[in-house]
């Protein structure tokens, strides 16, 4: 019998992330919870353990806005005897006002794209690290996003809350497409979780969603655990099925340029391109 997958879920203390973690644990995964609040992490861990009857690994505390903190997180995860084999990049923010990260990037892009980009590369590069799947929680908003490889951190563009959020979600899908080309043996896919009344939706968009938390978590769980999540690479899913991504996300030249610019921005070496120059 194969060992249970060890799944890191970022942003696991609220909303869709918490429900995703609960369902993964219910299905037997060893779930590593991530959050920014120690008290909320403790409460979430206790609630999931009570609901599933199992013990979870020690959760991890990290502010994803800081690249230094992301590097510390990667080092801590690599040092564990149980290292993550599946990454569910669920954490996200919607900023109503312009703010920058400690590294000088616009905060939406820093948290939603650059943090998971860096964390994934650090874990892939770690000796003996066996990442099998990467699941990037994007949004249908990526269809209206636009990015510029010369301004990965979105600091030169006039700030517009939805525009910056949509750009960060397009970045998630571009990262998915390009990483799938480069990370051999790793299944990398992105998804739209649905329209769920999470804190991000109600406070950021000022609206209510029609989908339940269970529906919002279902596609992440599918791609993290089910066989289909290992068979497909560089795809975008919605409501448990493969869906059409933005034409910009399918632009191989843009994906390559944005990937390489993101690697430079966070200070990691890009993985070798599988197919050579475009």
> Residue 276: inside a domain, yes or no?
no
Residue 204 forms part of a structural domain: yes
Residues 6+ apart with CB under 8 A from 164: 95, 106, 108, 109, 154, 157
Which residues lie across from 135 on neighbouring strands? 88, 189
Instruction: Assess if residue 271 is contained within a domain.
Output: no
Specify if 275 maps to a domain: no
pLDDT in tens, 140-151: 999 999 999 999
254 within a domain of the structure (yes/no): yes
Residue 274 lies in a domain: no
pLDDT tens readout for residues 66-119: 999 999 999 999 999 999 999 999 999 999 999 999 999 999 999 999 999 999
Q: Looking up tokens 């942003």, which residue turns up?
A: 11
| The pLDDT value given to residue 129 | 63
CATH number at residue 99: 3.40.50.720
Q: Given this model, what pLDDT does residue 227 score? A: 95
Among residues 152, 76, 150, which one has the least CA distance to residue 112? 152
Structurally, the chain folds into a number of domains equal to 1
Q: Which residue has the tokens 């949509």?
A: 166
Q: What is the pTM of this model?
A: 0.93
The residue range of the domain holding 185 is: 6-266
Q: 165 an active-site residue?
A: yes
Does residue 39 fall inside a structural domain? yes
Residue 278 domain-assigned?
no
């Amino acid at each position: 019998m194969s060992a249970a997958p060890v799944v890191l879920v970022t942003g696991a203390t609220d909303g869709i992330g918490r429900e995703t973690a609960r369902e993964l644990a219910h299905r037997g995964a060893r779930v590593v919870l991530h959050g920014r609040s120690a008290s909320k992490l403790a409460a979430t861990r206790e609630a999931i353990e009570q609901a599933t009857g199992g013990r979870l690994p020690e959760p991890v505390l990290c502010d994803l806005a800081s690249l230094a903190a992301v590097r510390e997180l990667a080092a801590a995860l690599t040092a564990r005897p149980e290292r993550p084999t599946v990454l569910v990049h669920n954490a996200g923010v919607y900023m109503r006002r312009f703010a920058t990260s400690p590294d000088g990037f616009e905060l939406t892009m820093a948290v939603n794209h650059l943090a998971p980009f860096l964390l994934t590369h650090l874990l892939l590069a770690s000796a003996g690290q066996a990442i099998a799947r990467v699941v990037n929680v994007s949004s249908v908003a990526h269809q209206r996003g636009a990015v510029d490889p010369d301004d990965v951190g979105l600091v030169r563009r006039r700030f517009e809350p939805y525009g910056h959020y949509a750009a960060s979600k397009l970045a998630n899908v571009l990262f998915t497409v390009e990483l799938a080309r480069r990370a051999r043996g790793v299944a990398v896919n992105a998804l739209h979780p649905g329209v769920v009344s999470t804190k991000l939706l109600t406070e950021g968009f000022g609206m209510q969603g029609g989908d339940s938390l269970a529906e919002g978590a279902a596609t992440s769980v599918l791609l993290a655990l089910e066989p289909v999540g290992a068979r497909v690479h560089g795809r975008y899913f919605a409501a448990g099925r493969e869906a059409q991504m933005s034409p910009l996300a399918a632009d191989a030249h843009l994906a390559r340029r944005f990937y390489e610019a993101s690697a430079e921005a966070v200070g990691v070496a890009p993985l070798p391109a599988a197919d050579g120059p475009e």
